[in-house]
Amino acid sequence: MILMRRSLIALALLAPVAAFAAGFDTVKPATPADVQAAQARGEAVFVDFKASWCSTCRAQEKVIGALLEEDPSLAQKITFLSLDWDQFADDPFTTGLNVPRRSTLIAFKGDTEQGRIIAGTDRDEIKALIHSLLP
């Protein structure tokens, strides 16, 4: 009985972690070519320029994950892609967009930029940027 109760408590504590992690499955690691292909198809594209070692990037990632968890339909309407800053900072795509640093979030409808956030972690600001891509 005690073992069963402990197992149930452990499952209850881990459920939010699993749900939170599931939200990140919708943000796909990508290359500049992947972003450009989605843009060429006219998709709404949310691009996260991030680095694995960046604490601001992790904070943004948590907010994006929570927003996707709250409204999973966003992932059906918007293509969420992440570009590794360490790999693509000097790529012509990145420099052509004048991306100044990691922790930059950019929203595109097709190839038209709708807005960007640089190093911001405010939930409402990130939510507004994502929602700028909705019809």
pLDDT tens, per residue, the chain with 135 residues: 554 445 444 444 444 444 444 444 568 999 999 999 999 999 999 999 999 999 999 999 999 999 999 999 999 999 999 999 999 999 999 999 999 999 999 999 999 999 999 999 999 999 999 999 998
Tell me, yes or no, whether 10 lies in a domain.
no
Query: How far is Cα of residue 57 from the mean position of the Cα atoms in its chain?
Result: 10
Tell me, yes or no, whether 16 lies in a domain.
no
pLDDT score recorded for residue 37:
97
Tell me, yes or no, whether 5 lies in a domain.
no
Number of domains within the chain: 1
Tell me, yes or no, whether 99 lies in a domain.
yes
pLDDT score recorded for residue 8:
42
pLDDT score recorded for residue 25:
58
CATH number of the CATH domain containing 108: 3.40.30.10
Tell me, yes or no, whether 74 lies in a domain.
yes
Tell me, yes or no, whether 18 lies in a domain.
no
Tell me, yes or no, whether 78 lies in a domain.
yes
Task: Provide the phi-psi class of 104: left if phi over 0, else alpha when psi is between -120 and 50, else beta.
Answer: beta
> Could you list the residue range(s) of the whole structural domain that residue 40 is in?
23-131
pLDDT score recorded for residue 20:
41
